[in-house]
Amino acid sequence: MRFHRLVAASLLALAGLAHGQAFPEKPVRLIVPSSPGGGLDVLSRLMAAKLSGYWGQQMIVDNRPGAAMAIGTAAAAKAPADGYTVLFVNDGGLVINPLITRDTPYTYRDFAPIGLWVAVPLIITVNDAVPARNFPEFLGYLRANPGKVNFALADDNSRLASELFKSVANVDYVHVPYKGAAPTMNALMAGEAQFAITEPVASVNAAKSGKVRMLAVTSAQRSKGLPQLPTAVESGLPAYVTGTWGGMLAPAGTPAAIVTKLNADARRALAEPDLVEKLQSIGLEVRPGSSEEFAQVIRADADKWAKLIKDRNLKFGE
């Protein structure tokens, strides 16, 4: 009996492996919980084109915007766990939204991480009238003017990045809310606000006007796309490391062989020089890795933001 059980187990393992190797045998749907034309959408389409070419099967981008990415992310969580529906999302939709929005119908535990694609440092940008030419001088300016400086707040993610900055830098200033990264940069250029912490594309475009200056990036190392900018870490604030990221996930319970296949193919695409060049040119850092490494990133971020929200008694949507 033991021999028969071993044979049966071996056959099941081989069948699973063969299924993973044959995958995909039909088109794969990639849910992107944001509107067409945005950063997530652009990156997803670049990757989908590469993966479709490898497979001889189309990867179809399915935009599902709304509710701070909850609509599309929830749809992916409820999809069959067969590898034919996957999700490309950032930390805001996957990790932060469930922490700050009541009744979000999913958590990161409803997914099997496939792999990180990119990491995105944030940029600390100031209006050109601010009398600080570098990041250490800006910290001094904030500390000399508590509660007198306006911060252009783009969204809830921007608020968390700001609250972390307040906490580790021991500074205080006024949050002025705007609807997205572009309006925050417009406010900065107009002098309505003195600084912002936002994604690279908005900051780089605004800096071309000469009305704002980029002082530092929030990644642990300098950005390959913006090597001239020092990090906050090297500029006197070693505890301030933050940013956003984008990665692919499948519904929980997706066979391990399929997760492994999807991870390997995505890493292959992220090693192609033409794709790397395109991503770095818009300030993205290519960060492929294993499924477990991605899972560790997700867990660490969830713990970090949950602690910050609790420690600072932050309230959202009230």
Confidence tier at 318 by pLDDT (50, 70, 90): low
| CA 33 to each of CA 44, 115, 121, 262, 305: distance values in angstroms, whole numbers, following the listed order | 11, 17, 21, 19, 21
Class of residue 73 by CB neighbours under 10 A (exposed 0-12, middle 13-18, buried 19+): buried
Q: Supply the pTM of this predicted model.
A: 0.85
pLDDT, residue 3, reads 40
Structural domains of the chain sorted by starting position, each given as residue range(s) with its CATH number in brackets: 27-119+243-311 (3.40.190.150), 123-217 (3.40.190.10)
Confidence tier at 6 by pLDDT (50, 70, 90): very low
Distance of CA 62 to the CA centre of its chain: 18
pLDDT, residue 13, reads 40
Determine the Cα–Cα distance for residues 254 and 61; give it in Å rounded to an integer: 19
Tens of pLDDT, residues 21-32: 589 999 999 999
Confidence tier at 10 by pLDDT (50, 70, 90): very low
Confidence tier at 181 by pLDDT (50, 70, 90): confident
Which element (helix H / strand E) includes 205? helix 200-207
pLDDT, residue 100, reads 92
Integer-rounded Cα Rg, in Å, for the chain is 21
Say if residues 243 and 219 touch (Cβ distance below 8 Å): yes
What is the DSSP secondary structure assignment for residue 109, as one 8-state letter?
G
Tens of pLDDT, residues 70-93: 999 999 999 999 999 999 999 999
Determine the Cα–Cα distance for residues 96 and 301; give it in Å rounded to an integer: 9
